[in-house]
Amino acid sequence: MREEILLIGGGGHCKSVIDVIEQEDRFIIAGIVDKKELLGSKVLGYEVVGCDDDLKKLHEKYKNIMITVGHIKSNSVRVKLFHLVKSIGYTLPTIISPLAYVSKHSFVDEGSVVMHQALVNANANIGKNCIINTKALVEHDAIVENNCHISTSAVINGGTIIKENTFFGSNATSKEYVTVENFVKAGSVVK
């Protein structure tokens, strides 16, 4: 029997995660937590059932939650929400698109999402609360620390370390065995 899950944040990233959750077919989306003024509105047919102030009360009924706020300029909201829901006692599952490839010899930690057509190869390690976005590649032996966003079609080559809280932009590419931190703009080559 599929368990229910709440989503926090009803913007563009939420829509993409909804599609992944529907495709994965492991959870039933119970609703979305967003701003108070959006209560009752819908995102792709799923109702906004509460705001941040309702998270403790919602936990009485729902145990699973996924942070669906994006991360471009800053991940501070994602990080704050991650710590908040953990302190309440929610479970943050790992969500992996059935259209992605994640090696059985890799590891993806709690609260992270691997989007459609992403590749996570052997011995790669993805931390907590990360976004491995559509068509991103995380190669062998790479480490993506907590709270990172590997954006669309980005390439993290073998042995690279992406430090905590880093945004790695669309179509950016790292050289192998380098350490990357902070913000990498779209299309960059990191040597």
Distances (CA, A) of 170 to 33, 46, 67, 134, 137: 27, 28, 21, 10, 11
Assess whether pLDDT exceeds 90 at residue 61: yes
Assess whether pLDDT exceeds 90 at residue 60: yes
Q: What pTM, to 2 d.p., does this model score?
A: 0.97
Pairing of strands 3-8, 64-67: parallel
Assess whether pLDDT exceeds 90 at residue 72: no
Count of CB atoms situated within 10 Å of the CB of 77: 14
Assess whether pLDDT exceeds 90 at residue 53: yes
- Helix, strand, coil percentages in the chain from 3-state DSSP, rounded to 5: 20, 30, 50
Half-sphere exposure of 16 (CA within 13 A, CB side): 20
pLDDT in tens, 131-189: 999 999 999 999 999 999 999 999 999 999 999 999 999 999 999 999 999 999 999 99
**How confident is the model at residue 1, as a pLDDT?**
85
Assess whether pLDDT exceeds 90 at residue 73: no
